[in-house]
Structure 1
Amino acid sequence: MDVRRRLTLLAVTIAATPLVLGGCTAERKPAAGAAPGGTAAPTVSVTPADRAKDVPVSAEVGTTVNNGRVTSVKLTDDRGKTVVGEPREDGSSWVPAAPLGGGRTYTAEVTATGDAGRTTVGRTTFTTATNTTRQALTSVLYFAGNQTYGTAMPVTVAFEPAIPKAARAAVQRRLFVKTDPPQPGTWSWLEDGSQVYYRAPDFWRSGTTVSVRSALEGLPIGKEYVGDADRRSTSKIGRQVALDIDNATKQMSVFQDGKLVRRIPVSLGKPSTPSSSGKMVIMEKHQQTRFDTRGEPDGGYVVDVEDAQRLTWGGEFIHAAPWSEGDQGYTNVSHGCANVSSTAADWLMGVTQVGDLVTVKGTEVPLRPGNGWTAWNTSWAEFARGSALPVPPGLKPAPSTSPPHPGAVAGGSSPAPSASGG
C-alpha cells in the first residue's frame, strides 16, 4: 500500500531556519599579550562575519574562544531592541529564541573572560536577507503541545522532500529537545532522509516534561530549499503502558508499570495480508473512523470501525471487530489489523495513550523502518548510528536491576498513511 498518503494526526506543522555562517571578526579589549604572572588574555572570534549581508534569518552567533570562556552574549537589532536567546550546551554558538527579522541589521557583542579575570570583547554587525528564491521545504513535527504521551513516544519530524545526507547535520543542529528531569538522547535519521526521530536510550520516565523546538525557518537546506517554520511544543509523559501481541497464542498482554493487568484474545492478519512484527508506537486514537481500501491490493471494502488505534502508516490498527469475535484467540482473519472484541477495544481506549509501545511477534513479515514511528524497533547502538552529529560516548541505556517486563526494551519516508485496516 502507498504509505505516502497522509492521514490527519495530532501533528504540528513545522519549518526551517539557517545555521551559523562562516567568517568572523574580533575586537580584543584590552590588547592581547602576557598579563602579570604570564597569563594571556582570551581571544574571541564571532560569526556571522562583520558587515556580512544576506544572512539567513536562522543565523546563530557563533563563538570561538581561546584562553577563556564566553561569559555574555548581547544581540541587538537596528532599533536598539535586545534579542532573547541562549547558548548551546557545547558553547559553540548562541541561539536566538525566534527567527531573526528579514532585511534587518543586527550587532552581536560577545564577552570572553580568562582564568585571571581578563576580558576580551568580540563584535560583529550583519544584515539578514530580505527574501530568498529558494522553495520552502515542508516539515511536520509529530509532537503536539499540551498532551500526555506514553513513555515510548519519540519526537518525530518528517520532511517533504527528504533531506539529503549532506544537509542532515545542519538540520539536526536546529532541532532541540529539553527534558525535565534531564534525560538526554539523540536524533536518528531514516536511511532515505524523510524522517528523523529523537529518543533517549531508555523509555521516558513517567512525569517527565518534554519541550521541543524545530527551529528550521529560513535554514538553507541543500541547493534548492529553505526550512518553512519555527515551531515549539511542550507535553508531559504519562503512565507506563505496554501491549504485547503474540501470534503464536493469539493473545494480547496488557502491562501497566511492568505488571500484567489483562490478556485479550486477538485475530491478526491472515496469510495474504499479514500483520507486521516489531516494536511500534500508538500514533493516534479514534472512537470512530472509516477504513476505505478501494484501490488497495486485497482491499476494495469500506467499513466503519470503533475504538481504533493506529500502529503504522500502512493502515495497521488495533480496533473493535465484532464480526470476528468467534475467531479471536484462534484464527487470523484480518487485513493486517489486530482485531479485538468491542468490549476489549472500549476498555483499551481508556487505558492506552498515544506513545505507548506495542510489540507484535511471530507474524510472517517484519515491520519496515519508517512504517509508523519505528524508533524503538532497533537497538540503541544502531539507533545512535543514525545520527548526523556525534553522539556523546557516555550516552547508553541504564543497567537494569531486575528482569524487564515483556513490553520493555533497552536501549527518521515522509509518512503518508493508508486509511486501510481490517
Structure 2
Amino acid sequence: MQRPGQSTSVRRRTLVGVLLGAAALPAVTACQSDTGGPGAAPAATPPSVTVSPADAATDVRPDAPVSVTVAHGTLTDVTVTAPDGTAVAGALDPAGTTWTSQGPLAVGTAYAVHAVAAGASGASTTHDSTLTTLTPVDTAFPAVAPLAGHEVGVGMPVIVTFDSPVADDRRRLVEENLHVTVTPAPVPGSWSWQSDTEVEYRPEQYWPARSAVHLDIDLGSVEVAPGVWGTTRDIDFTVGSAMVSTVDIAAHTLTVTRDGQVLRTIPVTLGQSGHSGTFVTRSGTKVIMSLERSRQMNSETTGIGQDDPNYYDVAVEYAMRVTNSGEFLHAAPWSVSSQGRANVSHGCTGMSTEDARWMFEHSKVGDVVVYTGSDRGIEPGNGFTVWNETYQQWQQGSALPA
C-alpha cells in the first residue's frame, strides 16, 4: 500500500535496486556442480602396465628377462608362474615402477604373468598375460663320471662330457651353472676344461674320506653353443675310505695304506728298461679307473704285432686300470720269481695272484696310486691325471676368474 506522499516512480526505483542487489549475491543451489567450472583439477590418469615379452609371445629365450613396467602408478603385486605353480624370482626397483625377473626360465614352458598397479587417485589396474619359452631343437647332453649312487676313492675327479661342443665364450656360463656340494663340510675345488666337450672338477686336496658329493648340472636354460642348449641333471655319489698306495719302481714294492695306516707291502714287478723306454712304467699320481675280475690283454692294442718277440695275448686276473695307455695292476703268476727283485713287465704292475686278489678286494674306482722312481712321467690326460698339477695350475684351466 502506498504511503501518503510517496510517488509511484520512487517505489519503482526501490524495487529495481533490490532486484539488482539480489543478483549480485552468490548463487547457491542444490544442483550446482563443483567440477566443471574454470580452474577445476583435471581427472587423474589411471595406471598403465606393460609386460615384456608381450602377451602370447612364443619361442621366448629362457635366458631373456621378463619385465613388468607401470606408468602413472606403482606396482603392488607381480607374479610369473609356471603351470605347476613354480614362481619365477624377481625384484622391484626402488621407484616401484619396474619388476624384473631374476634367473632363467625353463625351456618349453608356458608362464602366466599377473600384475597389479595402484594409481595416484587410489584406482588400481590389473594386467594378465602369457608367454611361452622355446623348445630346443638341439641339446648337449652331459655324461657324468662317477655314476650316481657309486662309492669312489678320494682321488676320483668329477668328469662331465658333453655330446656337443661348448663354445669358448660360453664356458664361463656353463661353469657358473655346475654346482658341487660336499657334506658334511664344504671343501674348495675348481673346474678345468680338458677340451671343448669335457670339463673336470677336483677339490684342492683329495676328497674328505666318507663324505657325500652332490653335483647339480643346471644347464637347462643355458645356450652352450649357437642354437644348442644344455640340460639339467643331479648326481649324488659318496667317497669311501682314503686308500692311497705308493709304488716304488726302483725298489719293486707296493705299499697300501688306508686312512693313513699301512695295510700291506706287496712285492711287485714293473716295466722293464730297454725297447726305447716304451715299457718303462710311468711315474706320477695315478687313479684306479676300473676294476675287472679278468681281462684279456693283447699287445696289439699297444702296437706290438704277432711278429714281434714281445708280442703277448694272455688272460689276467684282478686287473685294475690306472692309465688309458694300458697300465694295470694285476695278477702275474708267471713273474713271481722277479717280483720284489726286478722289473720285467711291459709297464704293468704285476704281483702274485693272492696279493692281486687282496688288492682287488680292498680297492675301488678313485683310489690313488702314486708311482715314483722312473724318469718317464705320466702324460696329461692319460687316465685320471688331475693330481699331477698343483691346484693353482689346475685352476688355470677354468673359465672363471681366479
Q: C-alpha separation between the residues in 2 aligned to 1:245 and 1:142?
A: 26
Q: Match for residue 201 of structure 2? A: 198
Structure 1 residues 250 and 164: CA distance shift in structure 2, 3 A? farther
Q: Match for residue 251 of structure 2? A: 249
Residue 76 (structure 1) aligned with residue 81 (structure 2): yes
Output the amino acid matched with 1:256: R
Structure 1 residues 202 and 95: CA distance shift in structure 2, 3 A? farther
Q: C-alpha separation between the residues in 2 aligned to 1:62 and 1:200?
A: 37
Structure 1 residues 183 and 74: CA distance shift in structure 2, 3 A? farther
Structure 1 residues 378 and 105: CA distance shift in structure 2, 3 A? same
Q: C-alpha separation between the residues in 2 aligned to 1:257 and 1:160?
A: 37
**2:190 touches 2:204 (CA, 8 Å); kept in 1?**
no
Q: Match for residue 382 of structure 1? A: 393
Structure exhibiting the larger radius of gyration computed from Cα positions: 2
1:210-262 Cα distance to aligned partner (Å, 9 max, x none): 111233456422336443x4322212211111011111111111111112221
Match of 1:370 among 376, 381, 387: 381
Give secondary structure in 2 for the equivalent of 1:211.
strand
Structure 1 residues 94 and 254: CA distance shift in structure 2, 3 A? same
1:80-134 Cα distance to aligned partner (Å, 9 max, x none): x2238999xxxx95477xxx352x3225799xxxxxxxxxxxx9964221342x4
Residue 221 (structure 1) aligned with residue 228 (structure 2): no
1:343 deviates by: 0.8
Residue 290 (structure 1) aligned with residue 296 (structure 2): yes
Structure 1 residues 295 and 182: CA distance shift in structure 2, 3 A? closer
1:282 deviates by: 1.1
1:324 deviates by: 1.7
**2:113 touches 2:129 (CA, 8 Å); kept in 1?**
yes
State TM-score, norm by structure 2. 0.67
Q: C-alpha separation between the residues in 2 aligned to 1:374 and 1:124?
A: 53
Give secondary structure in 1 for the equivalent of 2:190.
strand
Structure 1 residues 361 and 340: CA distance shift in structure 2, 3 A? same
Structure 1 residues 60 and 342: CA distance shift in structure 2, 3 A? farther
Structure 1 residues 249 and 94: CA distance shift in structure 2, 3 A? same
Output the amino acid matched with 2:289: M
Residue 189 (structure 1) aligned with residue 192 (structure 2): yes
1:285 deviates by: 1.0
1:209 deviates by: 1.0
Match of 1:168 among 150, 167, 171: 171
**1:273 touches 1:298 (CA, 8 Å); kept in 2?**
no
1:142 deviates by: 0.6
**2:53 touches 2:66 (CA, 8 Å); kept in 1?**
no
Q: Match for residue 159 of structure 2? A: 156
Q: C-alpha separation between the residues in 1 aligned to 2:379 and 2:341?
A: 26
Structure 1 residues 84 and 282: CA distance shift in structure 2, 3 A? farther
Higher relative contact order (CA 8 A, sep 6+): 1
Q: C-alpha separation between the residues in 2 aligned to 1:251 and 1:258?
A: 18
Which ranges of structure 2 fall in alignment gaps of 5 or more residues?
Answer: 1-46, 68-77, 91-100, 116-127, 307-311
Output the amino acid matched with 2:385: T
1:274 deviates by: 2.3
Output the amino acid matched with 1:172: E
Structure 1 residues 54 and 257: CA distance shift in structure 2, 3 A? same
**1:60 touches 1:95 (CA, 8 Å); kept in 2?**
yes
State TM-score, norm by structure 1. 0.64
Output the amino acid matched with 1:279: T
**1:74 touches 1:83 (CA, 8 Å); kept in 2?**
no
Q: Match for residue 21 of structure 2? A: none
1:55 deviates by: 4.1
1:19-58 Cα distance to aligned partner (Å, 9 max, x none): xxxxxxxxxxxx9xxxxxxxxxxxxxxxx9644753456x
1:294 deviates by: 2.7
Q: C-alpha separation between the residues in 2 aligned to 1:158 and 1:203?
A: 22
What RMSD in Å do the two structures reach over aligned CA positions?
3.4
Q: C-alpha separation between the residues in 1 aligned to 2:233 and 2:364?
A: 23
Output the amino acid matched with 1:341: S
What does 1:298-313 correspond to in 2, within 5 Å?
Answer: 298=304, 301-313=312-324
Identity across matched positions, percent: 30
Which ranges of structure 1 fall in alignment gaps of 5 or more residues?
Answer: 1-30, 32-47, 64-72, 111-122, 392-422
Output the amino acid matched with 1:158: T
Structure 1 residues 364 and 258: CA distance shift in structure 2, 3 A? same
Query: Greater helix share, 1 or 2?
Result: 2
